[in-house]
Structure 1
Amino acid sequence: MQLPLEIAFKDLDHSDAVEDRVRQEAQKLDRFFSHITSCRVVVEAPHKQHSKGNLYRIGIHLTVPPSRTIDVTRAHPGDPRHTDINVAIKDAFKAAARQLEDHARRLRGDVKTHGE
């Protein structure tokens, strides 16, 4: 990554462990596309349901050349696995990796084109 990673917490107290996990996952994105110019991650706990647990939402905003942005929001209101913040982070970064791979394929010209 060319610019530093930005991590924001919304409706949630800052956690060094969560920040470290996000940094580890963000470093892995360089394997899929090494020209990421910026990465902003928002870790959010929008639901305050104490009986069912908090469902975490992870938003990732990537800027990649040429002048393209990739936005990933992982908010599955019915997915009980997202009461674990580590699972929510992992799912969001897996989706970001898939989108980066697709972007890299398009830049290389590896995408099939349909004939008329």
Structure 2
Amino acid sequence: MNRPLQITYRGMESSEAMSEHIRDQAEKLEQLFDRIVGCHVVVEQPHKHQRQGNHFHVRLDLHVPGKDIVVGKDHAERRSHEDPYQAVNEAFDAARMQLQHHADAQREHR
């Protein structure tokens, strides 16, 4: 990555364990596509519900040459998870699929 990975926590305390998990996921993306310019991950706990448990949303902005890949940008994509690690995993899985599609399209245009 040309720019360092950015991790932002909203509505919750930052977590070194969570940050390490996010760094691991970002490294896996770089192994898939080594031309990633930058990545910004936002982990958010928008509301704290005592009865329903805590819910987490993850937004991932991935910058590659010719495209910005955004996961969790609108309400339809923002599924709520009680497990923040699961929310991170699903966001990176969605980014991986979009990144693979972008890489395949780049190969087709060569």
Q: Work out which of the two has the higher radius of gyration on C-alpha atoms and give 1 or 2.
A: 1
Q: CA-to-partner distance for each residue in 1:26-52, whole Å, 9 max, x for gaps?
A: 110012211000100000001211211
- Please give the per-residue CA displacement for 1:35-82, whole angstroms capped at 9, x wherever unaligned: 00010000000121121111110000011002x1000015214xxxx1
Aligned residues: percent identity? Answer: 37
Counterparts of 1:71 and 1:43 in 2: how far apart (Å)? 14
SS at match of 2:63: strand
Amino acid of the residue matched to residue 96 of structure 2? A
Q: TM-score, normalised by structure 2?
A: 0.90
CA distance in 2, matches of 1:76, 1:65: 28
- Report the equivalent of 1:30: 30
Query: How many residues are paired up?
Result: 105
Give the structure-1-normalised TM-score: 0.85
Contact 1:45 1:57 in 2 (8 A): yes
**2: CA distance between counterparts of 1:36 and 1:50?**
39
* Structure 1 unmatched ranges of 5 or more: 111-116
2:32 is paired with a residue whose SS is coil
Does the CA contact (< 8 Å) of 1:25 and 1:93 recur in 2? yes
| Counterpart Cα distance in 2 of 1:45 and 1:12 | 6
Unaligned runs of 5+ in 2: none
**Residue in 1 aligned with 2:105?**
106
What letter matches 1:14 in structure 2?
A: S
Runs of 4+ in structure 1 deviating by more than 3 angstroms, as ranges, are none
Q: Which residue of 2 aligns with 1:53?
A: 53
Question: SS of the residue aligned with 2:2?
Answer: coil
Partners of 2:21 and 2:91 in 1: how far apart?
12
Instruction: Tell me, in whole angstroms, the C-alpha distance in 2 between the residues paired with 1:95 and 1:31.
Output: 16
How much is the aligned-residue C-alpha RMSD, in angstroms? 1.3
Match in the other structure for 1:113: none
